[in-house]
Amino acid sequence: MSLLEARVRVRRSPQSLEVDLDADPGDVIAVIGPNGAGKSTLLRALAGLEPMHQGTVRYDGRAWDGPGAARPLTPQERGIGMVFQQHLLFPHLTALGNVAFGPRSRGARRRESEERARRWLTRLGVEDLADRRPRELSGGQAQRVAIARALATDPALLLLDEPLAALDVGVAMALRLELARHLADFGGIGVLVTHDALDTLTVANRVVVLDQGRVAQVGTPDEVAQRPQTEHVARLMGLNVLRGQGSGTAVALDSGGTLVTTTPFEGRVNACFSPAAVTLTLAEPTGSARNRWPGTVTSVVPHGAAVRVHLAGPAPLIADVTPGAAAELGLAPGRSVWAAVKATEVGVYGIAAPPAQAPLRSRYV
Amino acid sequence: MSRNRLGRPPAYLLLPAGLAVALLLVPLASLVARAPFGSLLERLAAPEVLDALWLSLWTATAAMLASLVLGLPLAWLLARVEFPGRSLVRTLVTVPLVLPPVVAGVALLTAFGRTGVVGAPLRELGVTIPFTSTAVVIAHTFVALPFFVISVEGALRATSQDYDEVAAVLGARRGAIFRRVTVPLAAPGIAAGLVLGWARSLGEFGATITFAGNYPGVTQTMPLAVYTLLQEDLEAAVALSLVMLLVSVVVLALLRERWFGQAAR
């Protein structure tokens, strides 16, 4: 039996949310998926802020919601910590007052609450900002205070809703590493909604991919990163994933066109390759690459030191090229090009049946 | 100059706009012009004037406190708690806003009068309300409370409910959320509602004279005193009016930041 056993069922439009989630102490679960997949709703249902029409949430053998609970426990009764994308610090309280709010609400004396708050501000490295109001804090500082506020109540469950999404890249990077450390020390269960592949890889030990209110994939961060089952995750991880019907070493792509691999496979298949493995030319290539498709450039954006090019065509894909090559080929939206990928660069794996109805079991997913 | 970038404003709009300003300002200006400045202090120091002034101030303040104690919980319920009949309650609460004040006075008389639903049992206990200072406070509260409730409900709705949820997650009970989060965050709106209600009480005439009468020192508030003085001594009425104009200007200055400050920002 897991510490947290949640069968979350929320009626909402356009599609209801049906997600099963089990977790053990020390688990940090990243929840990823496109906008509208139900990520935030999942967190709100676990917190008791969103009513469930059926389903259960059990924590440590105690029913929070569903059969066994006379009524759904209120958020106050659940003992949770929550961190939001917008820090949502109380604007009329100082940083210290914000962090002390939880302990104080849970019955601690004023002095005790403030001492506790000060300790947490120190752990997050913002003790010298204790007397500032939220509007006098930078985004990163405010989010540190918000994390301290959530942890200061010793929550059973820590729910983080895109906590780093509103921060500058550099600030987010520093805080991400610290967050990973605090979550490791925390020892409870963390659930992290994110849009960021790095969050998933550095902070979480398990990943749940949501799509249209259902679980589309579960696994370790590595598994999900290397074998994404949804287009969204593939894009998130910066991979090309094309679906099709395998027959020997040939794959008839769902998008039209054919793809050749070196690994024979029969049946429904994902073919995946890195954007760096794609070469672009203006004329149809005649080299050794087995896979070549015509395509139209839909967008060209800087991506680190490279340029990331999105193509539409029989094989919609992303390609990373050098800025020099992009200039030489005159890459701009609307430009017609040929894309080529060596068969040896393509990995294939079967398309998993959606595990939506099967509860995740501990870490062995 | 960016305001004329789209061309000159046409005369058929400028003219009525100018007339509107004139209509509002000319009477006020002539009031100030007619004021007997030489004998102003002397007139205002007359006992019946001081009585009216004092009565107006304390009854308006009492009505303001009654609005706060009764109206804030009601505004919170309307803004934050879903219950059956909520929109009906909201509609009923706003009725006195559009009710002619004299009708409000008659209604209060029928309720609190000697044979009224509230008045009859009170009379058994030896308490009579009509034509007392208490009646003035009740009349003021009756007309000011809806102003307060509607304006505070708006302020509460404008304050994000996210903070209430954050406080709940942190373990605060509903009452603690109200005291420690909701009210502090809506404090400027609540203060504005209080000032607005107080000003409304201060100018109340119809309901007061109908329900409480016009007894100097007991129920004769400033507007009633102005009306009474007008029959015999125009200058005294003008002097008293000037005081109330001054109060209105002060109220406006207090609310200015909140209303016009936001619009201009």
- The pLDDT mean for chain A works out to 88
Q: How many residues in chain A? A: 365
Please check whether residue A361 lies inside any domain of the structure: no
Do A344 and A262 contact (CB within 8 A), yes or no? Answer: yes
Tell me the per-residue pLDDT of B158-212, one tens digit each, with 9 for 90 and over.
Answer: 888 999 999 999 999 999 999 999 999 999 899 999 998 999 899 999 999 999 9
Count Cβ neighbours within 10 Å for each residue of A137-157 and write b for 16 or more, e otherwise.
bebbbbbbbbbbbbbbbebbb
Residues A203 and A320 in one domain: no
Q: Which of B105, B103, B109, B104 is nearest to B128 (CA)?
A: B109
Please, which residues 184-213 of chain B have a Cβ atom closer than 8 Å to chain A? 184-185
Same domain, A109 and A221: yes
**A100 CB-near residues (< 8 Å, 6+ apart):** A110, A113, A114, A116, A117, A152
A105/B172 CB distance under 8 A? yes
**Structural domain contains residue A33:** yes
- Indicate the number of domains in chain B: 1
Reported as half-sphere exposure (CB side, CA atoms, 13 A), residue B265 has a value of: 7
Are both A197 and A267 inside the same structural domain?
Answer: no
Query: Does B168 lie at the interface with A, CB-CB under 8 angstroms?
Result: yes
pLDDT of residue A363 exceeding 80:
no
For residue A135, is it within any domain?
Answer: yes
Task: Give the model's pLDDT for residue A48.
Answer: 94
Angstrom distances, CA of residue B261 to CA of B186, B254, B258: 17, 11, 6
On the question of pLDDT at A355 being above 80, the answer is no
CA distance B175 to chain A (A): 11
Q: How confident is the model at residue B89 (pLDDT cuts 50, 70, 90)?
A: very high
Kindly determine whether residue A102 and residue B162, on different chains, have CB atoms separated by under 8 Å.
Answer: no
**Chain A contact for B162 (CB, 8 A cutoff):** yes
Top pLDDT among A202 and A34 is at: A34
- CB atoms B171 and A88 under 8 Å: no
**Looking at the 3D structure of chain A, how many domains does it have?**
2
Does residue A67 share a domain with residue A185?
yes
- Output the pLDDT for position A358: 39
Contact B169 A75 (CB under 8 A): yes
CA distance linking residue A193 with residue A207, whole number of Å: 10
The answer to whether A41 touches A48, Cβ cutoff 8 Å, is: no
Q: Per residue in A61-87, is it b (16+ CB within 10 Å) or e — as a string?
A: eebbbbeeeeebbbbbebbbbbbbbeb
| β-strand pairing of A258-260 with A214-219 | unpaired
The pLDDT tens digits for B109-132 are 999 988 889 999 999 898 989 999
Burial per residue of A158-189, b for 16 or more beta-carbon CB atoms within 10 angstroms, e otherwise: bbbbbbbebbeeebbeebbeebbebbeebebb
Chain B: residue whose CA lies nearest to A88: B163
How far apart, in whole angstroms, are the C-alpha atoms of residue B195 and residue B69? 15
Q: What is the pLDDT of residue A81?
A: 95
| The amino acid at A48 | G
Interatomic CA distance for residues A318 and A339, integer angstroms: 10
Q: Does B82 touch chain A (CB under 8 A)?
A: no
At A359, is the pLDDT very low, low, confident or very high (cuts 50, 70, 90)? very low
Q: Is B30 exposed, middle or buried (0-12, 13-18, 19+ CB in 10 A)?
A: exposed
Answer whether residue A330 is part of any domain: yes
Sort out which chain A residues have CB atoms less than 8 A from B180's CB and list them. 101
Measured CA angle at B149 (ends B143, B154), to 5 deg: 135
What are the CA-CA distances from residue A49 to residues A40, A63, B172 (Å)?
Answer: 11, 16, 14
Point out the residue among A47, A76, A79 whose CB comes nearest to the CB of B173.
A76
- A364 lies in a domain? no
Give the best residue of A49, A74, A76 to mutate against chain B (max B CB count within 10 A).
A76
* A281 strand-pairing partners: A338
Reported ipTM: the value is: 0.80
Q: Confirm whether B138 is domain-assigned.
A: yes
Please tell me whether residues A176 and A283 are part of one structural domain. Answer: no
State the pLDDT at residue B19: 97
Strands A4-10 and A80-83: what pairing?
A: unpaired
- Could you tell me if B42 lies within 8 Å of chain A, comparing CB atoms? no
Across A29-39, average pLDDT? 90
Q: How many CB pairs under 8 A join A and B?
A: 48
- Host H or E run for residue A217: strand A214-219
Asked if residue A169 and residue A119 are part of one domain, the reply reads: yes
Identify the pLDDT of residue A357: 39
Q: Read off the tokens for A76.
A: 């106050």
CA distances in angstroms from B237 to A288, B29, B32, B240, listed in the order given: 104, 15, 12, 5
Cβ of A81 within 8 Å of Cβ of B169? The answer is yes
By Cβ distance, the residue of A74, A91, A106 closest to B168 is A74
Whole-number pLDDT of residue B42: 85
Q: List the single best residue of B165, B166, B174, B179 to mutate versus A (max A Cβ within 10 A).
A: B166
Query: Which of A77-86, A272-281, B218-227 bottoms out in mean pLDDT, i.e. has the lowest?
Result: A272-281
Q: Which residues of B touch A81 (CB under 8 A)?
A: 169
Same domain, A243 and A225: no
Average pLDDT on B81-86 reads 93
The CATH number that applies at residue B181 is 1.10.3720.10
- Whether residues A188 and A243 share a domain: the answer is no
Contacts of A88 in chain B (CB under 8 A): 162-163, 166
Q: Which residues of B touch A105 (CB under 8 A)?
A: 167, 170-173, 176
Q: Does A14 share its domain with A150? A: yes
The answer, yes or no, to whether residue A15 has pLDDT greater than 70, is yes
Specify if B71 maps to a domain: yes
Q: Which residue has the higher pLDDT, A271 or A148?
A: A148
- Nearby residues of A248 by Cβ (< 8 Å), 6 or more positions away: A264, A266
pLDDT of residue B112: 94
Structure tokens at A337: 């090009």
Answer with the one of A201, A231, A261 that is the final residue of a domain: A231
* Distance (Å) from the alpha carbon of B160 to chain A's nearest alpha carbon: 10
Rounded CA-CA distance A168/A139 in Å is 8
Q: Which residues of A touch B176 (CB under 8 A)?
A: 105
Q: Is A149 on the interface with B (CB under 8 A)?
A: yes
CA distance B110 to A286: 100
pLDDT band of B3, cuts 50, 70, 90? low
From A135's Cα to the closest Cα of chain B, the distance in A is 14
Phi, psi dihedral angles at A239 (to 5 degrees): -120, 155
User: Distance (Å) from the C-alpha of residue A94 to the closest C-alpha of chain B?
Assistant: 13
Q: How confident is the model at residue A360 (pLDDT cuts 50, 70, 90)?
A: very low
Residue B2's pLDDT band, with cuts at 50, 70 and 90, is: low
Residue B232: per-residue pLDDT: 87
Residue B154 lies in a domain: yes
Beta strand A28-32 with A189-193 is: parallel
Q: Is the pLDDT assigned to residue A353 strictly greater than 70?
A: no
pLDDT of residue B178: 95
Give A132: exposed, middle or buried? Use CB within 10 Å, 0-12, 13-18, 19+: middle
Could you tell me which chain A residue has the CA closest to the CA of B175? A105
Q: How confident is the model at residue A364 (pLDDT cuts 50, 70, 90)?
A: very low
Nearest CA in chain A to B177: A105
Final residue belonging to a domain, choices A167, A200, A231: A231
Nearest CA in chain B to A101: B170
Q: Are residues A281 and A331 in the same domain?
A: yes
CB atoms within 10 A of CB B187: 13
Which residues 152-171 in chain A show a CB within 8 A of chain B? 153
Q: How far apart are CA A87 and CA A141, in angstroms?
A: 10
Which residue, A197, A294, A284, is CA-closest to A236?
A: A197
pLDDT digits (tens, 9 = 90+) for B95-113: 988 899 999 999 999 999 8
Whether the per-residue pLDDT at A249 is higher than 60: the answer is yes
Domain boundary among A231, A254, A281: A231
Q: Mutation target for B interface from A101, A104, A113, A145: give the one with most B CBs within 10 A.
A: A101
What is the structure's pLDDT at B259?
Answer: 59
In a domain, A105, yes or no: yes
Does any domain span residue A365? Answer: no
On whether residue B77 sits in a domain, the answer given is yes
Contact B169 A80 (CB under 8 A): yes
Report the gap between the CA of A88 and the closest CA in chain B (Å).
Answer: 7
Q: How confident is the model at residue A352 (pLDDT cuts 50, 70, 90)?
A: low
Minimum mean pLDDT range among A52-56, A169-173, A312-316, B260-264: B260-264
pLDDT tens by residue, A131-145: 999 999 999 999 999
CA distance A5 to chain B (A): 20
Q: Is residue B87 part of a domain?
A: yes
Assess A105–B contact: CB distance below 8 Å, yes or no: yes
CB < 8 Å to A157, chain B: none
Residue B81 belongs to some domain of the structure: yes
Provide the domain limits for residue A59: 4-231
pLDDT of A365: 31
Band of pLDDT at residue A44, cut at 50, 70 and 90: very high
Residue range(s) defining the domain that contains residue B105: 57-220
Q: What is the CATH number of the domain that holds A265?
A: 2.40.50.100
A78 lies in the same domain as A190: yes
A 77-96 residues with CB below 8 A of B?
A: 79-82, 84, 88, 90-92
For residue A139, what is the enclosing H or E element? helix A139-151
Closest CB to B170 among A74, A92, A105: A105
Residues pairing with A250 in the sheet = A247, A260
Spatial distance between the Cα atoms of B259 and B254, rounded to a whole number of angstroms: 10
Are residues A105 and B173, on separate chains, in Cβ contact within 8 Å? yes
Nearest CA in chain B to A102: B170
pLDDT for res B258: 63
Going B49 to B51 to B55 to B58, the CA torsion angle's sign is positive
Does residue A26 belong to any structural domain of this protein? yes
Q: Which one of B160, B169, B185 would you mutate to disrupt binding with A, by most A Cβ within 10 Å of its Cβ?
A: B169
Regarding whether A34 and A171 lie in a shared domain, the answer is: yes
